[in-house]
Amino acid sequence: MKSKGTLGKVLRMVETFQPGFLALITVTRILASGQPFMMIYFDSVILDMLVQRAPLKEIMTVVIWMAGLSALLVLLRWGLEMPLVVKKSVISLKVEQMMCEKSCEMDYDLLSGSDTLDMRQRAWDGTYTNGDLGDFCELLATVIENICIIIYSGVLLFPLLIPGTGTGQSGLAGLLGKWYSGVFLLAAMALSLWLNSFANRRSAKIQQDIFEENVRNNRHMEYFRNFAFDYSHGKNIRIYKMADMILGAIKKNIVVMENLHQKMIRRIQKVKWINSVSALLLQFYSYLYVGLRAIYGQISIGSTLRYISAYQKLSQSVGCIFNMFIQLVVKSKYLVYFYNYLEIPNKRYVGTLPIEKRNDNRYEIEFRDVSFCYPESDKMVLSHISEKFTMGAKMAVVGPNGSGKSTFIKLLCRLYEPTEGEILLNGVNIQYYDFREYVKLFSVVFQDFELFAFSIAENVAASWEYDGEKVGDCIEKAGFSIKLRDMPEGIRTNLYQMEKKGVEISGGEAQKLAIARALYKDAPWVILDEPTSALDPVAEYEIYSRFDEMVQDKTSIYISHRMSSCRFCDTIYVFENGRIIQKGSHESLMKEEDGLYGKLWNAQAQYYKTS
Ligand code: ADP
């Protein structure tokens, strides 16, 4: 995307976030930039009046006008600027909100891709390290302010270009009195500007090149910084004395980043001298010009003061505006990264078909010759799975680590698409169904389930709004109710220490809440991936003995290494190397000679045998 298009987009976005912000900032800057010129004008008038010995009353009238207008402008500016500060910070926060929104709605498989991670880092660094949208608006406002200064100083300087002030004089004085002598002054300014803009463009390019080189380093930095900050990593770091490794990685990164910064500064210094030299030359030339005209009596003392002050402001602003404009373009280039992130297309077809509402929960799913390999990997994790899943059945999936069990569930839940083959729901490829409706069919407790720093009830309902009675019922079924009695505010107790009264819970307790959340969703398919791995034996026993009551007529799939917990399932699927190599009831599988199921069962059972 080109930065040109971005400028328009940014302005539209700012206007959507905070209507009227741009108009307000423009008015404020017009007023802010006008005040010093008003002072310059009045100062020069008062000076001329003093030189011409004007009556005190007239002088005092001008002074009162000057003070009154100045106070009015200061008050207006003060009144307008306060709301602007708030609006600007809201705009900055909205950018963060949009990045979070994008990350939440992005295709799940894109979220972990290294390209996406680089793009997110670029977007983050581009908008935060190099000034966010709020700073962009501030810069825009400064450009507006400088345009106003140029217009105001142009108005004050205009009489200098009017011919006739030096008529009758000869030599240098005559030349200075000619109209074109002012044009030389403008030409000098144009040259200085050109030099300035050349130097600034070069520096901006250097900065952007270094920014690109730094993306990976920033990402590494953030990764290791999180380890150091996050208390959930703290125990491993302490027990395994990994602080040296983590800090070593951070230090190594800092050295690389420092070198890059030094390289940038060295390269920028090589062009920055141009700015200083051109500004000095221009200042010297302009003072000489106005000074000589004053000496030759072509302009009054008051006018000399006015011209010098106006010219100073004009040259500062013109230099500044170019610099600002280049910064604006550079910042919009960085904002392009932000837009690039927002515009990462979701590749998958989200589907439009509604899911047929069925009271009998007959949602039949079929894997038809499904194979799968993860993005950025060429290893087939699932190979040629063809299976119809019986409705209302209690199924189990067992198999060695890495045999593809969790991946199979991820495909079933449409978090990934099959690389080959298709998955059908009631005979239709699942990708044609509306994604949001499709996922309503599944209650899943993933191995790496997450609870969040919300209240217990909000976690269970996965929503701000909840049915308290239903939450209590699911908590009871999941075996968390005894613990709940100790909670200071019952189901309204906040989890984790984000809030002052937030509570910490154990891994097993968290797992029970995750099960309660799956029950609350009340979906026709219940999938539990190692649902009791963190539970104590009693809690595990309770969960399994109540499982029938929990899942009722729903279709359920357990993935478990606890072979005994799968024994009562109608069908057990045995995975190995991404294939289903056996299926059947416990009894039938045990009868298969040399079958993997029998080996897994016997391997586990021998630990429970008494000698
Ligand atoms: P299981 O649940 O049977 O233990 P998984 O389905 O989690 O096995 O993993 C199967 C294989 O897929 C493993 O070899 C694992 O390394 C690989 N794998 C899992 N997740 C990813 C991923 N996000 N990217 C690449 N490979 C993955």
Q: What region, left, alpha or beta, does residue 351 occupy, with left being phi > 0 and alpha being psi -120 to 50 degrees?
A: left
- The pLDDT of 538-566, averaged and rounded, is 77
**Pocket around ligand 1 at a 6 A CB cut-off:** 112, 374, 377, 381, 399, 401-407
3-state secondary structure of 385: strand
Q: What is the pTM of this model?
A: 0.71
Q: Regarding predicted confidence, which is higher, 596 or 281?
A: 596
Mean pLDDT for 2-16 is: 73
Strand partners, 444: 527
Atom of ligand 1 nearest to the CA of 403: 3
* CA 82–ligand 1 middle distance (angstroms): 54
Nearest of 433, 382, 412 to residue 556 by alpha carbon: 412
pLDDT of residue 609: 59
- Given a cut of 90, whether residue 492 has pLDDT beyond it is yes
The closest of 504, 514, 501 to 451, measured between CA atoms, is 514
**Whose C-alpha lies nearest to ligand 1, atom 12?**
381
Percent of the chain with pLDDT over 70: 94
**Element spanning 281, H or E:** helix 243-295
Averaged confidence pLDDT in the chain: 83
What confidence tens digit (pLDDT) does each residue in 102-124 have?
Answer: 888 888 888 878 888 888 888 88
**Protein residue closest via CA to atom 7 of ligand 1:** 406
Q: Which residues of 446-467 are buried (b: 16+ CB within 10 A; e: fewer)?
A: beebebeebbbbbbbbeeeebe
Q: How many CB atoms lie within 10 A of CB 481?
A: 14
The mean pLDDT value for 551-572 works out to: 83
Atom of ligand 1 nearest to the CA of 377: 25
User: For the segment 293-337, what is each residue's pLDDT rounded down to a tens digit?
Assistant: 888 878 888 888 888 888 878 877 877 777 777 777 777 777 788
Model confidence band, residue 1 (pLDDT cutoffs 50, 70, 90): very low
Give, for ligand 1, the residue of 374, 409, 446, 447 to mutate: max count of ligand atoms closer than 8 Å to Cβ. 374
SS3 state of residue 501: coil
Q: Please report, in angstroms and rounded to a whole number, the separation of the first and last CA atoms in the chain.
A: 72
Q: In angstroms, what is the span from residue 400 Cα to ligand 1's centroid?
A: 12
Confidence of residue 611 (pLDDT cuts 50, 70, 90): very low
Q: How much is the pLDDT for 361?
A: 66
Give me ligand 1 centre to Cα 423, in Å.
19
Between the CA of 529 and the centroid of ligand 1 the distance, in Å, is 13
Residue 164 has pLDDT above 70, yes or no: no
Q: Calculate mean pLDDT across residues 198-206.
A: 83
Q: Give 168's pLDDT tier (boundaries 50, 70, 90).
A: low
pLDDT of residue 568: 79
| Residues 287-297, mean pLDDT to the nearest whole number | 81
CB-CB contact of 535 with 501 (8 Å): no
411, 385 contact by CB (below 8 A): no
Ligand 1: residue whose CA is nearest its atom 24: 374
How many Cα atoms within 13 Å fall on the side-chain side of residue 303? 15
Amino acid at 448: D
Of 376, 385, 407, 416, the one to substitute when testing ligand 1's pocket (max ligand atoms within 8 A of C-beta) is 407
| 86: phi then psi, degrees, rounded to nearest 5 | -65, -45
